[in-house]
Amino acid sequence: MARTRLTPKEFLQECFPPRLLCLISEDAQEVCQKNNLDFIQLIRPFCRPTNDLISSDLTNRRFYMKNFYLHVCSLEQASPCNPNITRNLFNDHVTQCVENFDPHHSPQIDIALSDNTSVAVPATTPWYEVFRDDYIRFFPPYDYECIRDLLGCLFVVSTSIADPVGRAKALIEQQVQLQANQKNPRWLGPNILKYFVVLDDLSTSSPDTKVRGESALHYFTTTYGETNCCLLGINSGTGRNIDEAPFNPWENSMTYSTPSNDDMASAAVAETLPEVNGANEAEGMDHPLAITPHRTVTNGPDAEEKRVGMLLSQEDGRRIETFITDLVNKCLVPYAERQIKILNELIISKKGIHRTLVNATKKIFGPSGPPRPGAASSRSSTSSSSSSTNVSQVVYMTEAVEMHNRKAGDLSLILQLYDQALGFYQSARRDYSSDQAWNYYAAASEMCGLCVFLSPATAFSTVNAKAFPLQFFEAAIKSYSEYGPTKQQASQSLSVRSTFFATEVCKALGLFDEAAAFFKTHTEEFDLLSGLFLEQAGHCYLKSSPRKFSFQMIFAGYRYFKAAQKKLGILAYKQALKVFEGRQWSIAEDHIRMNIVRHSMLLRSYQEALPHFAFLLTGVRRQVASQQLLILKDFLTCRRSVQSSPDERVINLDIPLIKVQKIRTITAPANDSFLVESVDEEWLALEEKAVEAKGHAHPHFRHQQFVFSDKTDNRHSPMISAGEVLTVEIPLQNPLGLPVTVKAPRLTFQPGNLEETLVVEAVDDVTLAAEEETVLRFRLTVKETGMLKINGIEHVVYIQVENDTEEGPLCINARKSFEITGRRLNVSKADKAGIVYTPDRRLDIIVTEPRGKVVGNWENFPRGVLSGQVVRLGLTIDNQGGRSVNHLAILSSLPHVLIFFNAPKDGDILTLPLPNGSLEPRKKVSLSAVFVAPSAAGSYTIKCLLYFRSTPDGDKAPKYGIWRIQHDFQVLPGITLKGTIQPSLSPSQKEPENLITLQAAHVNEVQLQNISIKLIELLSTTPHWTISNLDETLPPDQKGTLISNGSLSYGEEAFLALLARQRYLVEGDSTTLSAFTIGPELDATDHNFIKAARTIAAFANEDGGRREQQDAIRLRLLWKVTLVTDGKTSNVFGIRSIALPIFTRSREGVEQAVVRSPPGGDNADGADQVRTVPDIAEILTKVPDDPFVSSIRLQSLTAAAGVDGATTQEAQYGVDIISWSVHLPEVEPSVNDEGFCVVSLTMELSCRLTTTHDSFEVSVDLRSGSRCFPVGARRHQVVLRPAESCPLAFQYCFTTAGTYNMAEFVLVKAMPVRQLQPSTVKLQRPANNQMLMRIL
């Protein structure tokens, strides 16, 4: 619960002071009015005596009374108010209080949220206190209690008239009339306390008045007792005396008593008037509160202008103080004690009779029967109207026996005799309960609760809070709400008052949850009250459950809005928002903000509404479009009102959202696909290499940059030469659900010298659909040198209004200034500790002298190529600068794939020839190049750096320029080529000869599954080695069948056996390269390609030849793929390279080399940057160099197949279908002088099955080992019927002596002919796993 001005104890004590009526004669009033005060106002500051006040209970125990307060009221104040007026009064007081409330300067309380953050909310709710105090003060009288009844009457007369005693008698008469005839004010008993005050105006004092005073006092003393009268001398001050100015206790109490706000008072009257009906007109209109406005309007402000109490001296004050103390101590307390005693005696005497009577009736009519009117002598039934509505309404007469207990209790409570009061109340409570007088019962219960809490004997505090009997209050509230006066009858509910008490007690005891429960039980129609209660309930949750607090605040705010307490509602919603903020409860947060905005707008506090629009409009789309439009309109209204000058029509608006951080500045005029935005290490290495080679090396090398974006380092300004085009890209996003049109966008610049000469291409209007994103592209041409700073954008936003014909589209002149934050630094310790951003200069452009500027693009560079494919490329070079370029070079990240003709090479840098030696401005030239795709499949990125120098001019501009071209391409697998080389060792030959076997395979099963690759030619690019085809020498039936037509289908392999002979070169004859064609028929394109290949080889050799060692034979396999697309055929040519190193004879024999081509070829030095892993097919076809390993691999393979077959084949056929064995020669062959021996072998194949009718297709594959290879066809196919057998002859060439297991080299597979599924191909195990052949 919120903090309050009074502690709960103080508040509760103050609720029930002893009340006295004050009847004043006009003359006495006049005496007081000299001070601009009436008598009650005069004595009010002294109504809290500070002296020791002592009361004693029935057992004569004495108690000091603390915080004692005497309530003296005029006749008007004692009468109940019109409920409508009070309600308005409450509203007005609360409004006034909220107006004066400053949330920033009120005490704050931190509430801890779940994620260890905390928010501060105001700890006080003064409006609640104001309301509560008003509610208690203007509480109407009820029959169920006597505590607010008047104890007695003060009669005030003055000595200024001749007969004060006579006047006093008239006043007494008036009091008697009041008590006898009128219902209000209510009196505690017939025998009231009477006290007489004779005012003596000392300022006009004369002996005459003195005598009159003395005689009057004497009369009162003798008639009413010594303690019941007082002669009070006032106005002893001199008025203008400055010394006495500080004595003025009235100033503060003045405003407290009467409402003085003109507005609210007149509003109260205005609102009352239509509602006033006959019943409460008479009662309502003559009430002082109703006429207060008129009174205050006439003399209120003027009276306060004058000094209050100027004739009153400190001495007067002391006299009044003594008077009050005497009144309380000598008169009031003894009177009350006396009354208690009398009542107590009455109770004791009547108890016996009453009880027996009641018990007798109860016995007769049963306990549950309705209470019968007249069952007790003093009991009467209620009026007919209320009895009809509620059967259990019981009303006691004022003097009824049942009320004695209550009265005694009330008097004890007033005298702060809490224990005694509790005793009386409890017995009263029991009585009422048995009488089923529930309202009385509730009132007594409530008082019991209060007494228990206030009693010093019980001493309840937060320590023993749980033991506190809250059930007193619970019972009270329950009974009140069930049996209490209905809404029409009761302006202010007793249960509400009980709630005030109960919650105060709970607060004092720290029982916040219980307090919240009390607050929440009320579902009042009175919105303000409901709102206040909900808010207090929220405050109860503040410490324990902040989220519930926010929930309650939402409800409170809602009720406040209904009660037209907008400011309070906004305040409540703001508290709730603090807990919700930034937690993505988007709909809830929007709801809160919308309400804040709406009501702030109504209150015209635009400044308050403004910050919330940003969240509503730029967040994720949550509202429907029409709602967004309304918000937008509100925003514009708000914005205009807040703006200092109404002329300014340009609004800093975020619609559409401009992503300032993502602005790009491009100093090159090319389109997006050619621009390299992220300059990585590789680029830097290339640039550095080029710059170093060209002699511009600088210790602080800084690369040149064309794109400045959020991904680049923008510490340095973009540099552009005069006359070049600069592009600024501004990304936009429409955050609304409505289409938004951006019209006439233009950039704004910081004033400088360049704007006049600046040419900006006009940008079209852009319409963004809901949530669409787009980019505004501005192209600027700067003519002069200097500095250009772009600082913002101005545009007109049009939003089409749907279903609204009266208004045109919303049209907003908007501007947005660009403030770009650079990257956060994280280098030094200071950077890491703090948050430091680099300056971002991407919009501060330096314009330099004109210079050359090369923009290069590739022409027809394919995105997908086959490995080794050869493509002719174009490189267009465009000089877009202002001066001619006279030197151009290129550097590539993949230097071997690009071949430029006639380009001198220096390391990796190629100097490109320019026609006529230079390139004039605005001229274009196209250079041709050849691209040979890398042999390994995968994704590649080729980065080419163009380096250029323009004609020297200008000192500021850099001496050189660069241009980056990046191209991504994909290399698809095509042909793999692998081979072995072994020296032919015939001693007769002088020149070394080498036997080479090559194996080419088609491995592309995706793109070229049904397309064959044609092999054209085999070319030796090593000029001193000639090659000749060995196959030519074989008889036709032993030729590889696949080679015969020269093309390979997918999965096929071709084998070439060739002989390489070394020859001695004649100088300058290096171009005649040895080659032989493979395919039988070649067309014209093939011949062209053969020629081209030689040219390419020549350029590739130019450096390669020098670098390479003598001991390698480089072979190139030329191939072609004919593709048919849409009826058109196109040829794709390619080269597959292999380098076979030559070894010399070693001691044991001859070393052999098996070379695989893919990573080799002419890129054997591994310069290729392969991004992906090599093609999987190639890994699978890889044969390990070690024959031992290979044999293991094969064996395990066969074994695995056997196991597999055991389950499937045995189920089908029992065992392997084919049995086979190789017949080994009887004589062990030996290697001949030339280092090899060819052995003819035969194998026997037989079908084991006898029963089925299937025939089997048997294929026999002959594999090469590391030291042996088959001669002739590598695959043989035979069809075998069941029980059939056939021999098969083949030849193997062995190069080294040793033992060979033929089971490793021969693979037999079988497949039923009729079976269509290829999966039934089964590997057939040999009859004997060890077919060892020994070569000597």
Partner 1 sequence: MTFPQFGRLYFVIVGHRDQPLFEFEALKHDDSTSSIPLQREDYRHLCQFVVHAALDAVEASLVGPQGSQMFFKNVDRFNEWSVSAFVTSSLIKFVLLHPVRDDSQSAMRKEESDIIRNFFYAVYEIYMKLALNPFYELDSEISSRGFREKLHQLVKKHLLNL
List residues binding partner 1 (CB under 8 A).
Answer: 113-115, 541, 544-548, 550-551, 554-555, 558, 580, 583-585, 587-588, 590-591, 624
Q: Which two tokens stand for residue 520?
A: 């929440």
Q: Please, which residue, 617 or 843, has the CB nearer to partner 1? A: 617
> Measured from the CB of residue 624, what is the shortest distance to partner 1 in angstroms?
7
What whole-number distance in Å separates Cα of residue 227 and Cα of residue 330? 6
> Measured from the CB of residue 531, what is the shortest distance to partner 1 in angstroms?
12
> Measured from the CB of residue 117, what is the shortest distance to partner 1 in angstroms?
9
Q: Please, which residue, 591 or 1309, has the CB nearer to partner 1? A: 591
DSSP annotation string for 1127-1151: TEEEEEEEEEEEEEE---B-SSSB-
Q: Please, which residue, 480 or 561, has the CB nearer to partner 1? A: 561
Q: Please, which residue, 486 or 584, has the CB nearer to partner 1? A: 584
> Measured from the CB of residue 1170, what is the shortest distance to partner 1 in angstroms?
27
Continuous segment of H or E residues that includes residue 348? helix 333-365
SS3 (DSSP) at 682: helix
Q: Please, which residue, 585 or 901, has the CB nearer to partner 1? A: 585
Residue 24 forms beta bridges with which residues? 156
Q: Please, which residue, 254 or 534, has the CB nearer to partner 1? A: 534
> Measured from the CB of residue 35, what is the shortest distance to partner 1 in angstroms?
53
> Measured from the CB of residue 581, what is the shortest distance to partner 1 in angstroms?
11
Give long-range contacts, CB 8 A cutoff, 24+ apart: 323-327.
Answer: 323/43, 323/46, 323/197, 323/230, 323/232, 324/43, 324/46, 324/47, 324/49, 324/70, 325/49, 325/51, 325/53, 326/227, 326/230, 327/70, 327/195, 327/230
What whole-number distance in Å separates Cα of residue 905 and Cα of residue 910? 5
Q: Please, which residue, 68 or 558, has the CB nearer to partner 1? A: 558
> Measured from the CB of residue 543, what is the shortest distance to partner 1 in angstroms?
11
> Measured from the CB of residue 571, what is the shortest distance to partner 1 in angstroms?
18
If you ran DSSP here, which 8-state letter would residue 139 be given?
A: P
> Measured from the CB of residue 737, what is the shortest distance to partner 1 in angstroms?
13
Question: Rounded to 5 degrees, what angle do the CA atoms 449, 452, 455 make?
Answer: 140
How many angstroms from the chain centroid is the CA of residue 558? Answer: 26
> Measured from the CB of residue 734, what is the shortest distance to partner 1 in angstroms?
21
> Measured from the CB of residue 584, what is the shortest distance to partner 1 in angstroms?
4
The closest alpha carbon to 491, from 292, 300, 689, 283, belongs to 283
What whole-number distance in Å separates Cα of residue 1324 and Cα of residue 1215? 10
What whole-number distance in Å separates Cα of residue 287 and Cα of residue 913? 111
> Measured from the CB of residue 526, what is the shortest distance to partner 1 in angstroms?
16
What whole-number distance in Å separates Cα of residue 935 and Cα of residue 1005? 16
If you ran DSSP here, which 8-state letter would residue 1120 be given?
A: E
Count of Cβ atoms closer than 10 Å to residue 535 Cβ: 28
Q: Which two tokens stand for residue 1213?
A: 């056929």
Q: If you count them, how many residues does the chain have?
A: 1336
Q: Please, which residue, 115 or 806, has the CB nearer to partner 1? A: 115
Q: Please, which residue, 561 or 1305, has the CB nearer to partner 1? A: 561
SS3 content of the chain, % helix, strand, coil (to 5): 35, 25, 35
CB 494 within 8 A of CB 479: no
> Measured from the CB of residue 481, what is the shortest distance to partner 1 in angstroms?
19
> Measured from the CB of residue 551, what is the shortest distance to partner 1 in angstroms?
4
Q: Please, which residue, 426 or 595, has the CB nearer to partner 1? A: 595
Q: Which two tokens stand for residue 660?
A: 């300032």
What whole-number distance in Å separates Cα of residue 250 and Cα of residue 303? 13
> Measured from the CB of residue 701, what is the shortest distance to partner 1 in angstroms?
39
CB 965 within 8 A of CB 673: no
> Measured from the CB of residue 115, what is the shortest distance to partner 1 in angstroms?
4
Q: Please, which residue, 51 or 544, has the CB nearer to partner 1? A: 544
Q: Please, which residue, 582 or 917, has the CB nearer to partner 1? A: 582
Give the 3-state DSSP-derived string for 246-266, with helices as H, strands as E and coil as C.
Answer: CCCCHHHHHHHHCCCCHHHHH
How far CA 990 is from CA of 19, 579, 993, 1059, 1061, in Å, comes to: 143, 97, 9, 15, 10
Strands 864-866 and 885-892: unpaired
Q: Which residues contact 1078 (CB under 8 A, 6 or more apart)?
A: 1015, 1016, 1017, 1018, 1043, 1046, 1056
Q: Please, which residue, 540 or 888, has the CB nearer to partner 1? A: 540
> Measured from the CB of residue 574, what is the shortest distance to partner 1 in angstroms?
16
Q: Which residues contact 920 (CB under 8 A, 6 or more apart)?
A: 879, 884
Q: CB burial class (10 A; 0-12, 13-18, 19+) of residue 581?
A: middle
Q: HSE on the CB side for 56, CA within 13 Å? A: 10
Q: Please, which residue, 196 or 541, has the CB nearer to partner 1? A: 541
Q: Please, which residue, 580 or 606, has the CB nearer to partner 1? A: 580
Q: Please, which residue, 347 or 554, has the CB nearer to partner 1? A: 554
Q: Please, which residue, 131 or 561, has the CB nearer to partner 1? A: 561
CB 942 within 8 A of CB 966: yes
Question: Rounded to 5 degrees, what angle do the CA atoms 1289, 1295, 1300 make?
Answer: 60
Q: Please, which residue, 234 or 516, has the CB nearer to partner 1? A: 516
> Measured from the CB of residue 290, what is the shortest distance to partner 1 in angstroms?
34
Name the H helices within 154-287.
Answer: 164-181, 207-224, 250-257, 262-275, 278-285
CB 536 within 8 A of CB 503: yes
